[in-house]
């Protein structure tokens, strides 16, 4: 690091001093280069600011320590984060050189001021242009982006505990896909487990570092009353010992179904043991939790305790976990229904009551307010009650991480952007009654969260990030591209092994560097595309089987035969002689290990139908080929990864693929091993398996970003290869084969910009009911409950009843409507110079919708005496209902069961219910009428 810190400024300075007067196309290139210089200088200044912040804190830390000097807590958090991340990296990568990659370290340092400046002692370090801007963390797939933002997350968590934020949401982490959310949640849980150990060992106060897994009813239960939750036993009644677990899973089909659907952490993030699901009941409250089955684990410490990983929405709202991790779809809940809205706002500082016995937050009904918290066995929370418990400290999240940001495009990106600005508008309104708790800058302006958007495939990110987050400061990229096509200030191609002196000396960078991934293609003429794909796959399986048999059971003659075959098929090129030499001296065990590393054929299909066709033909064609060669093979173990496959099964595929013998042990028989995985785009993000090194594309994906992401699943640790079997009927696929080399050299430049437009009029109309509810059912009652004196809490407005809305309008007239309009305008982004042309048109449309509801529709006898929830549920047009998720765009269809099946057999109600469970959730429990809602 010291060397880099010395060299980086000189590298930038050297670049700044270059003479561009003789450059071809001098004017244009000089302007572009000057723009790059400004970005490099800005990046260097950000890193420098982070180092100065750490140095300033280190001085206080050395003098007085973090316990007595608030200025020392930044350096203390830095030390704790590094200790935890070192343990995490060592455990994950199974090696001792658990060091930061350069860009990861620089990224964390550059963003320290944005978080440290929320402390009054470091408020002078806040730079709005740097710290309020959205940062795009842009690095190649497999390069370590997750570890970079996890490092920043851990620093933020440690800093919060040290500065007095002992509970509450520190960070929001969002993913576009549910499958990706689960995989990253498991990784994040391991990171926080290492962080929690460090927090305990260093004696930091506060609640354990926890995760709220916030993904929705398809992946986790919303309530404890959700069907199937009652099948999970109490920990006190059935301790989660290995023996009890084995008996429960064998004898209780409902519990087994709940485990398949809701066990998101198969392995304990603290010790790696199996986990179980249990209900914990204390003081009248229930918590559904994962539990490590090892009573001696750090998470239990001789007493059965739930892991700090909550999956039930009710538990998340009441316990306000440190990290709220989930899908972007959950954002829609901030305006979905009154009770849910208030509970969400409650965990961000608006909860007025809490239970001293269980520590859970509580949002009282209006009828409970007059009696006060003690009548319910509760206590007041500051600032709703001036003498209440000060549970919250800077209650709004200070860090928002959006992973795989390139997937937020089209309608998903548009609605994600609208709800992002809505959440910020909610915080803006709640900040007023929470004055004194919310972090502000030196001018008294509310501090917003630092936003990190991570991606490896993005184009024109400034426009996309503006539509998503509406920050007045232009987005920045980290790291910026370097002055060379092959090098940046943080990374360059890895050199070949030291013994390959001739190769390392080659002036061609691509030859002198280590290989990672090889791309090739097969073009077919006159043969169906599926048949070609199956032929290529069966040929591959035959080759792997023959080589494995020769190397493991063929003795010296088998080794020579396998070696000759491999040498004879080396492609011509500058590395041909080097590869021949390496093969000629390799031992049988070395070659067998290399063959085994490529044993699994990962086949990407562009649609599920194509995957079904290949899966049906692959095994039989492979068996026939082996039979023709006289090699015995009964079949091959083929697995499927698609969005419709249950998450537990996908996790099982990944676990099976990663199962390897230790060095020195005998490789298991190849006929007993998994040989094939067929996957759709579900494989493209977050599936990091070192044993995936052979990939086949059955057709070219329509999106270049998807091709980059999917192909990066192989060759992450060992050399991998990618085979494209193009669809010959598609002109685009044929053209790609014709220009194959140059096509792959310019892959990143062909990534399409995200198609996103928050100003699509229909999109704004679609979110209006959600924003309307967010203000009337969430912002106003939460704000007023915090403001009203203790003896007037019962006067908190309750606009869930339409007559109350009408009464407020009658009392205040247009002023009430204008108040609603202003919030909706702020929520959709009509502010700070972001307004598009025709701004007044949007304002008029919002006002028309508000007046149409309150003045016209709700003045009728039909709706004027009902509830807001009842009104919206009664609407058939989705444009008139609050959104349930960001994908809730089109009108839903109706599935009607037939009384008889295709054979004429009369279907019973339980049979129909079983099928509907399968249709809705992807899996069904046949153990009885109380079918568990499961699936992904």
The sheet that has 517-521: what strands, in order across it?
A: 517-521, 720-725, 694-698, 601-605, 674-679, 637-641
Residue with tokens 């001098």: 26
pLDDT higher than threshold 90 for residue 546: yes
- Beta-strand ranges (E) seen in 726-794 are none
Mean pLDDT of 118-136: 95
| H or E stretch at 712 | none
Q: How many CB atoms lie within 10 A of CB 152?
A: 27
Per-residue pLDDT band for 816 (boundaries 50, 70, 90) equals: very high
Query: For the segment 92-103, what is each residue's pLDDT rounded down to a tens digit?
Result: 776 566 789 999
Closest CA to 482 of 132, 131, 106, 153: 106
| H or E stretch at 640 | strand 637-641
pLDDT higher than threshold 60 for residue 16: no
The three-class DSSP label of residue 595 is helix
Query: For the segment 381-437, what is each residue's pLDDT rounded down to a tens digit?
Result: 999 999 999 999 999 999 999 999 999 999 999 999 999 999 999 999 999 999 999
Q: In the structure encoding, which two tokens stand for residue 776, read together?
A: 């009337």
534 and 621 in contact (C-beta within 8 Å)? yes
Q: Are strands 450-455 and 135-138 parallel, antiparallel or unpaired?
A: parallel
pLDDT higher than threshold 90 for residue 892: no
Output the 3-class SS for 41-72.
HHHHHHHHHHHHHHHHHHHHHHHCCCCCCHHH
pLDDT higher than threshold 90 for residue 261: no
Mean pLDDT of 655-666: 86
The C-alpha atoms of residue 293 and residue 304 are separated, in whole angstroms, by 9
Per-residue pLDDT band for 9 (boundaries 50, 70, 90) equals: low
Rg of the chain's alpha carbons, rounded to an integer?
Answer: 30
pLDDT higher than threshold 60 for residue 932: no
Query: For the segment 174-186, what is each residue's pLDDT rounded down to a tens digit?
Result: 999 877 788 899 9
Q: How many helices (H) and strands (E) does the chain have?
A: 32, 19
The C-alpha atoms of residue 354 and residue 359 are separated, in whole angstroms, by 6
The C-alpha atoms of residue 743 and residue 736 are separated, in whole angstroms, by 7
Q: In the structure encoding, which two tokens stand for residue 308, read together?
A: 């700090």
| Long-range Cβ contacts of 555-559 (<8 Å, 24+ apart) | 558/588, 559/587, 559/588, 559/591
pLDDT higher than threshold 80 for residue 18: no
Distant-in-sequence, close-in-space partners of 557: CB < 8 Å, separation ≥ 6: none
The C-alpha angle 431, 436, 442, rounded to 5 degrees, equals 90
Higher pLDDT, 615 or 159: 159
Mean pLDDT of 629-643: 89
Q: In the structure encoding, which two tokens stand for residue 139, read together?
A: 């690095």
681 and 665 in contact (C-beta within 8 Å)? no
pLDDT higher than threshold 50 for residue 832: yes
pLDDT higher than threshold 70 for residue 12: no
| pLDDT for 935 | 33
pTM, rounded to two decimals: 0.91
Percentage above 70 pLDDT, the chain: 94
Phi/psi at 476 (5° precision): -115, 155
Closest CA to 834 of 424, 401, 336: 424
pLDDT higher than threshold 70 for residue 7: no
| pLDDT for 227 | 87
pLDDT higher than threshold 60 for residue 934: no
pLDDT higher than threshold 80 for residue 807: yes
Q: In the structure encoding, which two tokens stand for residue 613, read together?
A: 């066709």
| pLDDT for 694 | 96
Query: For the segment 703-728, what is each residue's pLDDT rounded down to a tens digit?
Result: 999 999 999 999 888 899 999 999 88
**728 DSSP assignment:** T
751 and 705 in contact (C-beta within 8 Å)? yes
Phi/psi at 377 (5° precision): 75, 20
Helices assigned H by DSSP within 630-745 = 647-658, 704-711, 731-738, 740-745
776 and 805 in contact (C-beta within 8 Å)? yes
The C-alpha atoms of residue 458 and residue 136 are separated, in whole angstroms, by 10
pLDDT higher than threshold 90 for residue 482: no
Higher pLDDT, 213 or 896: 213
Query: For the segment 339-388, what is each residue's pLDDT rounded down to a tens digit?
Result: 999 999 999 999 999 999 999 999 999 999 999 999 999 999 999 999 99
Q: In the structure encoding, which two tokens stand for residue 20, read together?
A: 């561009």
Q: In the structure encoding, which two tokens stand for residue 215, read together?
A: 């993904």
Mean pLDDT of 801-807: 95
Query: For the segment 557-582, what is each residue's pLDDT rounded down to a tens digit?
Result: 999 999 999 999 998 888 888 889 98
Count of alpha carbons within 13 Å of 188, Cβ hemisphere only?
35
Closest CA to 137 of 113, 159, 106, 183: 106
The DSSP annotation for 187-204 comes to HHHHHHHHHHHHHHHHT-
The C-alpha atoms of residue 185 and residue 180 are separated, in whole angstroms, by 8
Higher pLDDT, 452 or 180: 452
Exposed/middle/buried for residue 790 (C-beta within 10 Å: 0-12, 13-18, 19+): middle
Residues pairing with 173 in the sheet = 325, 401
The C-alpha atoms of residue 804 and residue 809 are separated, in whole angstroms, by 9
Q: In the structure encoding, which two tokens stand for residue 345, read together?
A: 């706002």
Q: Are strands 476-478 and 135-138 parallel, antiparallel or unpaired?
A: parallel
Percentage above 90 pLDDT, the chain: 65
Helices assigned H by DSSP within 879-929 = 909-921
| pLDDT for 894 | 72
Per-residue pLDDT band for 498 (boundaries 50, 70, 90) equals: confident
| pLDDT for 888 | 81
Query: For the segment 207-247, what is each residue's pLDDT rounded down to a tens digit?
Result: 999 999 998 766 788 899 888 899 999 999 999 999 999 99
End-to-end Cα separation, the chain, in angstroms:
44
Q: In the structure encoding, which two tokens stand for residue 541, read together?
A: 């399986």
The DSSP annotation for 267-290 comes to B-TTT--BEEEEEEEETTEEEEEE
pLDDT higher than threshold 90 for residue 311: yes
Distances in whole angstroms, Cα of residue 69 to Cα of each of 51, 116, 120, 164: 19, 14, 12, 13
- Examine residue 223 and say whether the peptide bond preceding it is cis (omega within 30 degrees of 0): no
| pLDDT for 206 | 95
Mean pLDDT of 907-936: 57
Q: Please, what is the average pLDDT of the chain?
A: 89
pLDDT higher than threshold 80 for residue 931: no
| pLDDT for 1 | 47
Per-residue pLDDT band for 116 (boundaries 50, 70, 90) equals: very high
Mean pLDDT of 69-94: 92
The C-alpha atoms of residue 671 and residue 634 are separated, in whole angstroms, by 8
Calculate the dihedral angle through the C-alpha atoms of 682, 685, 686, 688, rounding to the nearest 10 degrees.
Answer: 90
Distant-in-sequence, close-in-space partners of 873: CB < 8 Å, separation ≥ 6: 881
Distances in whole angstroms, Cα of residue 836 to Cα of each of 195, 462, 760, 833: 45, 16, 11, 8
Per-residue pLDDT band for 306 (boundaries 50, 70, 90) equals: very high
Helices assigned H by DSSP within 470-575 = 501-504, 509-512, 529-553, 555-568
| pLDDT for 218 | 66
């Amino acid at each position: 690091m010291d060397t880099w810190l010395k060299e980086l400024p000189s590298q930038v300075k050297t670049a700044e001093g270059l003479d561009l007067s003789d450059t071809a196309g001098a004017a244009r290139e000089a302007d572009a280069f000057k723009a790059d210089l400004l970005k490099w200088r800005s990046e260097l200044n950000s890193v420098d600011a982070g180092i100065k912040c750490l140095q300033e804190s280190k001085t206080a830390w050395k003098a007085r320590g973090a316990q007595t000097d608030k200025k020392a807590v930044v350096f203390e958090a830095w030390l704790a984060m590094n200790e935890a991340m070192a343990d995490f990296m060592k455990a994950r990568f199974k090696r001792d050189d658990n060091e930061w990659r350069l860009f990861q370290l620089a990224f964390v340092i550059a963003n320290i001021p944005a978080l440290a400046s929320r402390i009054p002692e470091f408020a002078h370090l806040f730079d709005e242009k740097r710290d309020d801007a959205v940062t795009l963390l842009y690095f190649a797939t497999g390069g370590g982006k997750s570890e970079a933002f996890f490092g920043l997350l851990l620093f933020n968590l440690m800093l919060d505990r040290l500065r007095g934020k002992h509970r509450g949401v520190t960070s929001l982490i969002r993913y576009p896909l549910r499958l990706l959310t689960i995989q990253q949640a498991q990784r994040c849980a391991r990171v926080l487990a290492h962080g929690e150990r460090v927090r305990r060992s260093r004696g930091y106060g506060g609640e354990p570092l926890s995760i709220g897994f916030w993904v929705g009813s398809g992946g986790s239960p919303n309530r404890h009353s959700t069907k199937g939750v009652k099948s999970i036993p109490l920990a006190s009644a059935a301790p989660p010992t290995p023996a009890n677990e084995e008996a429960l899973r064998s004898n209780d089909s409902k519990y087994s179904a709940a485990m398949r659907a809701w066990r998101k952490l198969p392995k304990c993030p603290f010790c790696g043991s199996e986990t179980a699901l249990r209900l914990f009941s204390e003081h009248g409250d229930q918590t559904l939790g994962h539990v490590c089955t090892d009573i001696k684990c750090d998470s239990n410490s001789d007493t059965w305790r739930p892991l700090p990983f909550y999956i039930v929405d009710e538990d998340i709202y009441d316990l306000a976990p440190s990290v709220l991790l989930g899908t972007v779809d959950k954002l829609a809940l901030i305006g979905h229904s009154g009770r849910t809205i208030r509970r969400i706002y409650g965990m961000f500082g608006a909860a007025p009551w809490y239970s001293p016995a269980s520590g859970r937050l509580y949002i009282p009904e209006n009828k409970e307010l007059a009696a006060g918290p003690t009548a319910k066995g509760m206590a007041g929370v500051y600032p709703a009650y001036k003498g209440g418990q000060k549970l919250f400290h800077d209650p709004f999240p200070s860090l928002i991480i959006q992973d795989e940001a390139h997937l937020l495009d089209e309608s998903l990106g548009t609605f994600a952007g609208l709800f992002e600005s809505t959440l910020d508008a909610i915080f803006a309104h709640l900040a007023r009654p929470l004055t004194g708790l919310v972090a502000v800058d030196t001018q008294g302006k509310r501090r917003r969260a630092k936003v990190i958007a991570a991606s490896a495939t993005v184009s024109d990110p400034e426009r996309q990030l503006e539509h998503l987050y509406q920050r007045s400061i232009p987005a920045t990229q980290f790291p910026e591209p370097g002055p060379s096509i092959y090098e940046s200030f943080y990374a360059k191609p890895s050199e070949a092994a030291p013994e390959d002196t001739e190769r390392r000396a080659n002036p061609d960078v691509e030859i002198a560097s280590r290989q990672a991934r090889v791309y090739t293609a097969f073009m077919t003429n006159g043969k169906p595309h599926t048949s070609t794909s199956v032929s290529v796959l069966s040929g591959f399986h035959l080759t792997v089987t023959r080589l494995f048999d020769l190397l493991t059971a063929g003795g010296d003659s088998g080794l020579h035969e396998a070696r000759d075959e491999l040498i004879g098929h080396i492609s011509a090129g500058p590395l041909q002689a080097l590869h021949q030499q390496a093969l000629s001296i390799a031992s049988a065990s070395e070659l067998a290990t290399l063959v085994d590393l490529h044993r699994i054929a990962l086949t990407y299909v562009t649609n599920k139908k194509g995957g079904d066709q290949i899966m049906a033909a692959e095994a039989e064609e492979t068996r026939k080929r082996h039979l023709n060669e006289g090699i015995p093979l009964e079949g091959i173990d083929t697995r499927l990864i698609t969005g419709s496959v249950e998450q537990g099964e996908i996790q099982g595929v990944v676990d099976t693929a990663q199962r390897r013998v230790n060095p020195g042990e005998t490789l298991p028989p190849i006929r007993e091993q998994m040989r094939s995985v067929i996957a759709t785009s579900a494989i493209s993000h977050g599936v990091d398996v070192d044993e995936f090194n052979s990939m086949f594309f059955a057709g070219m994906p329509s999106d270049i970003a998807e091709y980059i992401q999917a192909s990066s699943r192989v060759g992450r640790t060992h050399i991998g290869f990618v085979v494209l079997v193009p669809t010959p009927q598609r002109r685009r696929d044929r053209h790609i084969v014709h220009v194959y080399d140059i096509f792959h050299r310019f892959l990143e430049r062909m990534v399409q910009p995200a198609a996103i437009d928050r100003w699509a009029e229909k999109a704004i109309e679609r979110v209006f009911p959600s924003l309307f509810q967010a203000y009337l059912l969430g912002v106003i009652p939460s704000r007023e409950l915090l403001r009203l004196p203790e003896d007037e809490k019962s006067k908190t407005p309750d606009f869930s009843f339409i007559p109350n809305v009408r009464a407020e309008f009658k009392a205040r007239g247009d002023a009430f409507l204008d108040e609603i309009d202003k919030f909706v305008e702020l929520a959709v982004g009509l502010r700070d110079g972001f307004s598009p042309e025709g701004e007044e048109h949007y304002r008029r449309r919002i006002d028309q919708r508000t007046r149409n509801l309150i003045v016209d529709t709700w003045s009728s006898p039909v709706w004027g005496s009902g509830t807001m929830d009842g009104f919206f549920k009664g609407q058939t047009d989705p444009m008139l209902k609050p959104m349930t998720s960001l994908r809730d765009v089109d009108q839903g269809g109706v599935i009607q069961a037939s009384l008889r099946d295709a054979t004429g057999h009369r279907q019973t109600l339980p049979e129909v219910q079983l099928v509907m469970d399968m249709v809705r959730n992807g899996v069904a429990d046949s153990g009885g009428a109380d079918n568990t809602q499961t699936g992904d």
